[in-house]
Amino acid sequence: MLAPVVHILPLTTIRRERLLPVPGRIAVHVDQRVNSLDVVAEAHFGEEHLLVDVARTLGVRADAAQNLIQVKAGDLISQGDVIARRAGLVPRIIRAPCSGQAILIGAGQVLMEIGETRFELRAGIPGTVTRQISDRGVEITFNGALVQGVWGNGQMNIGLMLPMLSSPEEPLAARQLDVSLRGAVLLASYCNDPAALQTAGELPVRGIILGSMSPALIPQALQARYPIILVDGFGQRPLNSAAYQLLTTNAKCETTLNAVPLDRQTGVRPEIFIPLQVTQEAPLPREVETLAPEQPVRLRRDPHAGAIGTLISLRPGLTIMPSGLRVAAAEVRLDSGEQVLAPLANLEVLW
């Protein structure tokens, strides 16, 4: 059976395309090293539009209005510039109410683009630019440790990672947070304390990595100006043992949190990057697996949600679970040594 794959890798190579939503300018060159916050490309587009209805304002037909319009598509217009003029005993003039650019003229109307939005595309991943994609973006190659999460609050930042836990079960509490943590990326097991997120924002920290979080904190987490990544999901689940081991091993390393929301369609997911110096590139991780014995797996649902183990065997036929459901299942030996049954649908391969 095909299985989803999640990456918790001490050393890997990742290649990612970073693309602008519209054509723009690329700001970096091939072989340039970038950190995740660097702008790699930018685009400019109008913030909003203004429709000047010359025909209606001057009380003429659309075709007649065309002859009265004084600007062309592409013209830059300053506030007060004449847009249209009607001669006569009492001349009437339409002036631009604000500055902008005429982008379309027709049917006795002028469509202006006003204001300007500058869109900056950040690298999102630390690494080396390995390819430019004409007008649209770049490919960046990363070498180092990677932990993929399941939920992110949309923010991104870099900082030194400081574990706030002595075991994978230890929750994050406000009383643990003091000024010495300013600018750090915090690693904790779970959080159900709104004050902890509040205090973290006030310090401020550069990010928080959690195994899980109470869903009641979602609105607050989405308001936070620092990235929050959940590695295992929602509830009060300890940080999974594989992520705990990898992240605590890399304590005090520079860590990038790209807390983009999970998108199953595109495969975009929140990620934690710890760049490492390598003399030779590690292999690219596999994205597709078929469930088989000896694979490291993570259980995705209760009663062992987040637990890491090794797939021992795939059960033939269907197995009745404690819920009563008959499902294709596997035997899994958890890292704790316990052997459990799990529906195949609740497993993902750790790679």
Considering only 39, 173, 174, 218, the residue that binds another protein (CB under 8 A) is 218
Residue whose CB is less far from another protein, 277 or 323:
323
Considering only 172, 205, 300, 307, the residue that binds another protein (CB under 8 A) is 300
Considering only 19, 39, 305, 314, the residue that binds another protein (CB under 8 A) is 305
Decide if residue 338 touches another protein (CB under 8 A).
no
Considering only 15, 118, 131, 301, the residue that binds another protein (CB under 8 A) is 301
Residue whose CB is less far from another protein, 19 or 203:
19
Pattern 247-266, another protein, x by CB under 8 A: ---------------x-xxx
Distances (CA, A) of 32 to 15, 257, 266: 14, 21, 27
- Rounded distance, CA 198 to CA 220, Å? 8
Decide if residue 157 touches another protein (CB under 8 A).
no
> What is the helix, strand, coil percentage profile of the chain, to 5?
15, 45, 40
Q: Specify the DSSP element, H or E, that contains 248.
A: helix 241-249
- Rounded distance, CA 176 to CA 184, Å? 13
**DSSP characters over 173-220:** -GGG--GGGTTEEEEEEEE--HHHHHHHHHTT-SEEEEEEE-GGGHHH
- Rounded distance, CA 134 to CA 129, Å? 13
**Count of residues interacting with another protein (CB under 8 A):** 47
Decide if residue 104 touches another protein (CB under 8 A).
yes
Residue 3: closest CA among 220, 298, 265, 254: 298
Stretch that binds another protein, among 81-89, 212-220, 271-279, 330-338 (CB under 8 A): 212-220
Interface residue list for another protein (CB under 8 A): 1-2, 4-5, 22, 48-51, 103-104, 107, 111, 150-151, 214-216, 218, 233-235, 262, 264-268, 287-288, 300-303, 305, 320-327, 342-343, 345-346
